[in-house]
Structure 1
């Protein structure tokens, strides 16, 4: 489901407040909750309403690697029916960005519809993917970043004042056999307004400045002449990696994600201890 691809690709990492930090970002363990709502829908989509919630939990460090677990539940209404989708994903990304494991279970109206399980590894100018479920399969793709490295690059570009760049990402979503090209637009740093509806949830982070960011996702395996993105997402990005005020646009419909709760945990060490000789 593309819902989960968008959320995973963003790597919605939230971190403690730091004053417009320069240099490498430190991504802190946290648990964040977002409320989801329909923003707009065309007649052709037949969608009359969407409501839901995403719970996103991030843990790890550059030394230990990064673990993300999230649950993405939506109630989708159409003109003649409704259904509840429930996507539960767990990923592990090596701190160096060399390997990435992923497991996703997708439920519709509480019934397991499919399970995806696999691993991707960086190779020379390529990604080597091994899928275990729904069926065993090996896939080789052009080189692409995993989600944490994708976010760290975005933070670095923003801090350097860049406003546009292109890169690619593999996040193990959908069928786990596809990477996406991303076109990233970064706006000027902005202060949060006093009336911002997410201010209460942000708490001490509400005083941080942020960059408006828009990312368009294109299918790497698609038609080379295709200029229309598969989907796009916009959000507010803080210098510590915090993202909020999401808009996810799939073309025939779009929905928003608003931060409603944030729990921060202790930052793990970012300096790795050298291995002890035997």
Structure 2
């Protein structure tokens, strides 16, 4: 496993397309289940729930609260892991603050808090917890920008591109390279397993997306992604039908409940 607890790159859930008019706050709930597991993983079962809530606007910035709870079964032990993340990204993409607390069996395992600022030729990350430090990284983008770029390219009919990202995951001390594959746009079919959950946005177009995340700090020439995520991305910003591949095992996330809230007002001209 990647650690004593599972973590999830939050970039796929943060941000909505500016061109789609007022941003639509929403809360999405997913059931989690084991997809595949190799013998080396030692995992015999995974179940859990993930809750993601988005609020904000391009004027006020974007706030996300995110909780990722899993029960992980092995032949010797069963553990409950709980990742709780809150982020805020300025509407202009110049700063990104993050706080993540991770628990194993209700005991806190780690706490990470900091803020990243983009400017000039680089990105400066000021970490407050677990201990104060400052990290200088290459120029990159934050999650909202990353997803807006993805949606722009999907609507333009592009199918493959590569970019970089800082999302405050792991130890918040590195930038990830992402390779993105975008499938053909489609509409929700009546027999879609998640059709009931997405009935509020059934008229939306969506695109199947696959993103592989590579560690820039890894060995040169490394071609194996740190993790990979595939999902359906709706033009309203809702993400569903997830497959999260950690290498030795993968898990699915099925959308089971979706609440759409009052859209934020447009920024004054």
Structure 2 counterparts to residues 152-163 of structure 1, below 5 A: 152-163=148-159
Counterpart among 70, 94, 107 of residue 111 in structure 1: 107
**Alpha-carbon distance in structure 2 between the residues aligned to 1:14 and 1:32:** 14
For 1:32 and 1:14, the matched residues in 2 are separated by 14
Deviation per CA, 1:12-60, whole angstroms, max 9, x where unpaired? 5689xxxxxx945643111111111000000110100000101111100
Give the secondary-structure state (helix, strand or coil) at the position aligned to 2:202. helix
TM-score with structure 1 length normalisation? 0.91
Asked if 2 retains the 8 angstrom alpha-carbon contact of 1:14 and 1:27, the reply is yes
Work out which of the residue numbers 97, 103, 107 in structure 1 matches 2:93. 97
Q: Distance in 2 between matches of 1:171 and 1:268?
A: 24
CA gap 1:54/1:85 in 2 versus in 1, 3 angstroms:
same
**Structure 2: distance between partners of 1:217 and 1:106:** 21
What is the match of residue 19 of structure 1?
none
Aligned residues: 266
Q: Hey, what's the Cα distance between the residues in 2 that align with 1:25 and 1:197?
A: 29
TM-score when scaled to structure 2? 0.94
**Offset of residue 181 of structure 1:** 0.3
C-alpha spacing 1:25/1:123, structure 2 compared with 1 (3 Å)? same
Residue segments in structure 1 that go unaligned for 5+ positions in a row: 16-21, 274-278
Q: What's the offset of the Cα at 1:11?
A: 2.0
Q: Would the alpha carbon gap of residues 252 and 105 (structure 1) be closer, same or farther in structure 2, given more than 3 Å must change?
A: same
2:43 corresponding residue in structure 1:
47
Partner SS state of residue 267, structure 2: coil
Q: CA RMSD in A?
A: 1.8
Does structure 1 conserve the Cα–Cα contact (< 8 Å) formed by 2:204 and 2:236? no
Residues in 1 aligned to 2:54 and 2:113: alpha-carbon distance in whole angstroms: 19
1:11 corresponds to: 13
CA gap of 1:225–1:25, structure 2 versus 1, over 3 A, is farther
* Residue 194 in structure 1 maps to residue 196 in structure 2: no
Please list every run of 5 or more consecutive structure 2 residues that lacks an aligned counterpart in the other structure. Answer: none
Give the Cα–Cα distance (whole angstroms) in 1 for the partners of residues 22 and 252 of structure 2.
27
Question: Equivalents in 2 of 1:12, 1:41: separation in Å?
Answer: 28
Matched, 1:218 2:220: no
